[in-house]
Structure 1
């Protein structure tokens, strides 16, 4: 997301650290890591796509509010 002339991540999904998880980024630089408890990587990708479609605006608004 473009914020104050800089591109910053708001949310990302990955399987680094040995498990599928969602990282929510906050304006103060902290990251909330939430495990997905989905072992199949294809299922984790499908979940991530659906979660972004359903919740990106909420993630963006929370980031902008500093939550």
Structure 2
């Protein structure tokens, strides 16, 4: 969804291997409402996709993760 060119300091994707899900950020948030719904419809039955809104975070502690809402 986002271009890697927008993060030139990003040298690797090692942190993406911390959890066994596929996070989908910006769910139901403008201007990504349509594209995130399309991604959920297309991939949620194929991969372990977890959509999160702009008011949620994925908290990783050791080998566990939780999705939490902003306070």
Higher helix share: 1
Question: What is the TM-score normalised by the length of structure 1?
Answer: 0.28
